[in-house]
Amino acid sequence: MTSSPTSSDSSLEEEKFLKPEDVEECIPPKELEMMIEEKKVGTLDDFVTLRWYCMLVLLMAELTAFTATASSKVMVFAGATPTVVGCGGTPLNGCHELAAFRNGTNDCVPDLKYQFKSVQVEFNYVCDDAKKVKNTITVQTFGVLVGAAIFGQVSDTFGRRKALLISTLGNAIFNWISAYSPDLFYFMVWRTMAGVFTGGVTV
């Protein structure tokens, strides 16, 4: 013999299957609005408003990053090795034939084939002399490390704005001077100084 459901059982069943609109009727409107606002997912616009000053800061950051990247690219590609194809109009194939052709007496200017005018081509450091260019690049890289250490202390002491302005200005000046270097030694000196200020830009 089965028992019929009581009124208390039916009320429990109704509570289990309450509809959303029934719940909303039980909550005051203000509290309901607050609950809806809390459930909203935040976006970037809720935290950052890109006005003209923010855009200026982002632009300056991109320019400084471009400066540091360009300086690093010079160090990478400055030592690109050209191919010796001749000397004084005589066709040759590589450094070994150039060394045999010169043989200590023929001091001709090598004819070079290259994709772009690297430091080796600019100052005519080829074959065995090419390692001198590699050594200057090592010195320039050391300048970046020194500059990062120096300008790290400068920025902590005098502020990042002053450190950034000084390093950017110094980097521009010494990069400009290095373009007029008469030989490899002065090129190394000016590029090392530019590397010091490049280290300041990256801090």
**Residue 152: what pLDDT?**
87
Residues in the chain: 203
| Per-residue tokens: 126 | 């080829």
Of 45-49, 65-69, 140-144, 150-154, where does mean pLDDT reach its minimum?
45-49
∠ Cα 164 52 152 (to 5°): 15
Is the pLDDT at 25 greater than 60? The verdict is no
pLDDT tens sequence across 92-151: 888 888 887 777 666 778 888 888 888 888 888 888 888 888 888 888 888 888 998 998
- pLDDT confidence bin for 189, thresholds 50/70/90: very high
Of 55-64, 84-93, 188-197, where does mean pLDDT reach its minimum?
55-64
Backbone angles phi, psi at 85, to 5 degrees: -115, -5
Mean pLDDT of 35-49: 63
Specify the DSSP element, H or E, that contains 86. strand 83-87
| Per-residue tokens: 48 | 């950052």
